Amino acid sequence: MSERGIVESVAGGIAVVRLTRNEACGRCGVCACGSVPETMVLRAYAPEGTAPGDAVEVEVDRGARGRAQVWLLAVPLAAFLGLAYVGRSVVRLGEISALALGLGGMTCAFVLAWWLDKRCGWSERPVARIVRGGAGCSS
């Protein structure tokens, strides 16, 4: 998916790009909302010579959304269901105790995802790359 935006800043080959929301934004979900509801901000790999104020075209990485869904939805859900099942069926805990065990496992999975993100910086990585900039992209 290609979108047009304006470069706000560039550091270390990574640009912060402000995009204007469009009809496809409801389905995408990989960029963070800006302070104005009609705009959003994302990080993109920037080619040499990209400068603040440049009008650019960015291509969004579709895989970023899937990776986030695995870490923030699938892993905690699997931890909850797995531990609740083990607690109820294997250890023969009561329903409330098995539920508490599952919730504890889900909480641990969320904490693990948060800790790994802080350690590895996944949420700081670019989710797009600039494919074209300059006069060819007027906003």
Q: What is the pLDDT of residues 16-57, one digit of tens each?
A: 999 876 666 555 555 444 455 677 888 899 998 899 999 999
pTM over 0.75: no
Q: What is the pLDDT of residues 60-108, one digit of tens each?
A: 887 877 887 888 889 999 999 999 999 999 999 999 999 999 999 999 9
Distance of CA 71 to the CA centre of its chain: 10
Which 3 state secondary structure label does DSSP give 125?
coil
DSSP string, 9-33: EEETTEEEEEEE--TTHHHH--SEE
Q: Which of 41, 62, 52, 63 is CA-nearest to residue 124?
A: 41
Largest pairwise CA distance in the chain: 68
Domain 2-62+123-136 bears CATH identifier 2.40.50: yes
Q: pLDDT at residue 110 above 70?
A: yes
Domain residue extents for the chain: 2-62+123-136, 65-122
